[in-house]
């Protein structure tokens, strides 16, 4: 009998032998409930966490399924303590419920009085509850629904919220599926959201999260507030809603730094919602401007901290979070779970790729050497300055050009963190530059020129990390980033994952665009999909290399591997 690729250890870590023939299958099933911690060449280390298990439980998985996965792939028996801890942790979800009594008041219930007494006596929970009704029930203060869920998660007793949601003002929204159809996984995501009433849908970049949002809005049929990362994203949402639904321009409002419209479907930026005037949030009235039936949080992994506080007061509204990764660099995954809702649906990146809905991708790490002068500067620099010195080395400029030369005719994004580095790179490549200072109209013009093929190379700052639809980008060159950010790495690869066709299909697309016709980026078509190429250029033996290893963890969890290249071999 062949031994499996996993070693389950008593400290709740799971070691995956990468070269094992069953490693990919095991990785796919581990991702449901475990988080990748380290991903060197041969052995990857996962950790089974309480939050991962609760998210799996909320998504419909059981402790029996998880233990069956571990036992099936393990080289050695799963330690009994780990098995019992998994069972106990998953049993904790839902043993407390938040409901409404016959008069509509909020109550906290449990069939186990001892658990109820334990949580009710906690210092941070007691003020959120009224006087006990009976041994199974406590009243909940009307304002405390969100905070109570946060505190219960912190105590290790995640409550299932069954208190229901206000219907909001009804508003008829229909999908218009004339030249496209909802994909199977998108339909399952919408169904899972409807069933739960609030929560997060996790899909790869390019897999159609916006369409899941539109279909969820249609399923609920109520006025909707959509919160997005920036004005460019707001306009892309508007365009998708106009194309995919029965909504017209008069029914969709934009609420951003430039425009202040409140309509039955309103798209607002996180920035405007969290902007302050004289210490006060000046635009909070937007939350009460309509009787919203649904609030959609786009890129929920980027939710600004103040929005968590605002969301705690919105627990009576249906809430849908959309993201490619639940990873948050600030560690607030528990607040997403408590306040937006648990993970309702998750699709592995490689599964969607296998169905032809996102492009296959190859990832490369290109290592360069600092020059002698830079090496000395790096050696004597303060710790806080070392990353900038290493990651913005001018040595990366000719390497970027060599990579571009390897991909003749392909559309290339050069992505970085530091504006002076990007300005220098744009000048060297004779390519346009887009940063946060670029006016929105100019950004849209340049993105449009890139989509049409008028511009083959764009140099972009982190403003292009998320919610930018560039379906024809097939090469990305990352020259610097936000230190060790896993979410940024995933978002940057995501810029490449919309399916790209062979030259014949691309030519047909260009003709359609030139004639003013529509081009369906959701339609896989008949032509073969081109493989995307994602390059990270790093300075060898520096913190640039150390941060790169951490950045790669999430993508390694999704089944992507990085080929190491020496700059001299390009």
Domains and CATH numbers, the chain: 6-91 (no CATH), 97-157 (no CATH), 184-347 (3.40.50.300), 354-569 (3.40.50.300)
- Using an 8 Å Cβ cutoff, are 421 and 559 in contact? no
Task: State the pairing for strand pair 160-161/97-100.
Answer: parallel
Give every CB contact of residue 191 below 8 A, 6+ residues apart in sequence.
none
Helix or strand run (H / E) with residue 54:
helix 50-58
pLDDT of residue 51: 92
H or E, element range at 87: helix 80-92
CA within 13 Å, CB half, 187: 5
Alpha-carbon distance 462 to 424, whole Å?
16
Name the phi and psi angles at 411, rounded to 5.
-90, 130
3-state secondary structure of 274: helix
What is the structure's pLDDT at 240? 93
User: What is the C-alpha to C-alpha distance for residues 63 and 215, in angstroms, rounded to an integer?
Assistant: 31
Q: Please state the φ and ψ torsions of residue 503, each to the nearest 5 degrees.
A: -60, -35
Instruction: Compute CA 66 distance to the chain's CA centroid, rounded to the nearest angstrom.
Output: 24
Residue-wise DSSP of 482-509: STT-HHHHHHHHHTT-S--B-HHHHHHH
> What 3 state SS string does 197-260 have?
CEEEEECCCCCCHHHHHHHHHHHHCECEEEEECCHHHHHHHHHHHHHHECCCHHHEEEECCCCE
SS3 of residue 564 by DSSP = strand
What is the rounded distance in angstroms from the CA atom of residue 96 to the CA atom of residue 106? 13
Length of the chain: 570
CB 106 within 8 A of CB 140: yes
Number of alpha carbons in the 13 Å side-chain half-sphere of residue 326: 31
Q: Please name every residue paired with 226 in a beta bridge, in sequence order, or none if there are none.
A: 267, 296
**Rounded-to-integer distance, Cα 224 and Cα 173, Å:** 10
State phi, psi for 459 to the nearest 5 degrees.
Answer: -100, 125
One DSSP character per residue, 469-487 reads --TTEEEEEE---STT-HH
Determine contact, residues 530/488, Cβ cutoff 8 Å. Answer: no
Q: State the chain's maximal CA–CA distance in angstroms.
A: 76
Which residues are bridge partners to 7 per DSSP?
15
Degrees to nearest 5, angle at CA 11 with 9 and 15: 40
Cβ neighbours of residue 520 closer than 8 Å, sequence gap 6 or more:
179, 180
**Full-prediction pTM beyond 0.85?**
no
Query: What is the spatial distance between Cα 12 and Cα 387, in angstroms, rounded to a whole number?
Result: 33
- In terms of Cβ atoms closer than 10 Å to its own Cβ (0-12, 13-18, 19+), residue 220 is buried
Please list the pLDDT of the chain residue by residue as tens digits (570 residues): 568 999 999 999 999 998 999 998 998 899 889 987 777 778 888 999 999 999 999 888 999 999 999 999 999 999 999 999 999 999 999 999 999 999 999 999 999 999 999 999 999 999 999 999 999 999 999 899 999 999 999 999 999 999 999 999 999 999 998 888 999 999 999 999 999 999 999 888 778 899 999 999 999 999 999 999 888 889 889 999 999 999 999 999 998 877 889 999 999 988 888 887 777 777 877 777 889 999 999 988 878 877 887 888 889 999 999 988 777 767 788 888 999 999 999 887 778 888 888 888 888 989 999 988 999 999 999 988 998 999 999 999 999 999 999 999 898 999 998 999 999 999 999 999 999 888 888 988 998 898 888 999 999 988 766 555 665 788 989 998 876 677 777 777 777 777 765 443 444 444 444 434 443 444 444 445 578 898 999 999 999 888 888 778 767 767 777 888 998 888
pLDDT of residue 505: 42
């Amino acid at each position: 009998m062949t031994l499996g690729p996993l070693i389950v250890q008593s400290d709740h870590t799971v070691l995956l032998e990468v070269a094992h023939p069953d490693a990919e299958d095991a990785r796919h099933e581990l991702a449901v409930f475990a988080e990748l911690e380290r991903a060197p060449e041969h052995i990857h280390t996962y950790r089974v966490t309480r939050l991962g298990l609760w998210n799996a439980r909320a998504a419909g998985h059981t402790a029996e399924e998880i233990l069956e996965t571990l036992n099936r792939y393990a080289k050695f028996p799963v330690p009994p303590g780990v098995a019992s801890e998994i069972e106990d942790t998953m049993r904790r979800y839902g043993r407390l419920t938040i409901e409404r009594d016959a008069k509509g008041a909020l109550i906290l219930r449990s069939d186990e009085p001892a658990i109820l007494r334990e949580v009710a006596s906690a210092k941070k929970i007691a003020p959120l509850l009224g006087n006990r009704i009976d041994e199974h029930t406590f009243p909940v203060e009307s304002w405390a629904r969100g905070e109570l869920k946060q505190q219960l998660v912190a105590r290790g007793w995640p409550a299932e919220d069954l208190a229901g949601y206000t219907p909001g003002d009804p508003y008829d929204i229909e999908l218009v599926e004339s030249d496209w159809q909802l994909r199977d996984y998108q339909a399952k995501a919408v169904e899972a959201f409807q069933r739960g009433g609030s929560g997060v849908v996790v899909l790869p970049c390019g897999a159609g999260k916006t369409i899941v949002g539109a279909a969820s809005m249609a399923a609920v049929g109520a006025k909707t507030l959509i919160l997005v990362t920036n004005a460019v994203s707001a306009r892309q949402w508007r365009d998708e809603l106009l194309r995919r639904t029965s909504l017209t321009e008069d029914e969709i409002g934009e609420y951003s730094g430039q425009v202040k419209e409140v309509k039955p479907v309103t798209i607002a930026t996180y920035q405007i919602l969290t902007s302050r005037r004289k210490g006060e949030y000046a635009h909070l009235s937007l939350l009460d401007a309509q009787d919203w039936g649904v609030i959609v949080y786009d890129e929920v992994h980027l939710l600004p901290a103040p929005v968590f506080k605002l969301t705690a007061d919105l627990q009576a509204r249906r809430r849908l979070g959309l993201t490619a990764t639940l990873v948050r660099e600030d560690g607030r995954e528990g607040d997403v779970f408590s306040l937006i809702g648990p993970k309702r649906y998750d699709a592995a990146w490689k599964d969607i790729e296998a169905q032809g809905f996102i492009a296959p991708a190859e990832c490369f790490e290109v290592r360069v050497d600092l020059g002698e002068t830079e090496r000395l500067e790096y050696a004597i620099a303060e710790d806080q300055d070392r990353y900038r010195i290493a990651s913005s080395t001018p040595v990366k400029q000719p390497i970027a050009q060599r990579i571009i030369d390897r991909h003749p005719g392909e559309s290339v994004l050069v992505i970085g963190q530091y504006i002076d580095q990007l300005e220098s790179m744009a000048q060297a490549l004779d390519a346009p530059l887009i940063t946060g200072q670029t006016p929105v109209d100019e950004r849209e013009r340049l993105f449009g020129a890139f989509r049409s093929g008028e511009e083959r190379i764009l140099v972009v700052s982190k403003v292009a990390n998320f919610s930018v639809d560039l379906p024809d980008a097939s090469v990305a060159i990352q020259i610097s980033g936000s230190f060790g950010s896993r979410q940024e790495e995933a978002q940057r690869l995501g810029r490449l994952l919309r399916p790209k066709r062979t030259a014949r299909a691309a030519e047909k697309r260009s003709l359609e665009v030139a004639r003013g016709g529509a081009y369906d980026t959701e339609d896989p078509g008949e032509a073969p999909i081109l493989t995307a190429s994602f390059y990270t250029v790093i300075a060898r033996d520096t913190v640039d290399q150390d941060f790169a290893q951490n950045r790669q963890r999430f993508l390694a969890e999704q089944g992507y591997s990085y080929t190491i290249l020496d700059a001299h071999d390009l």
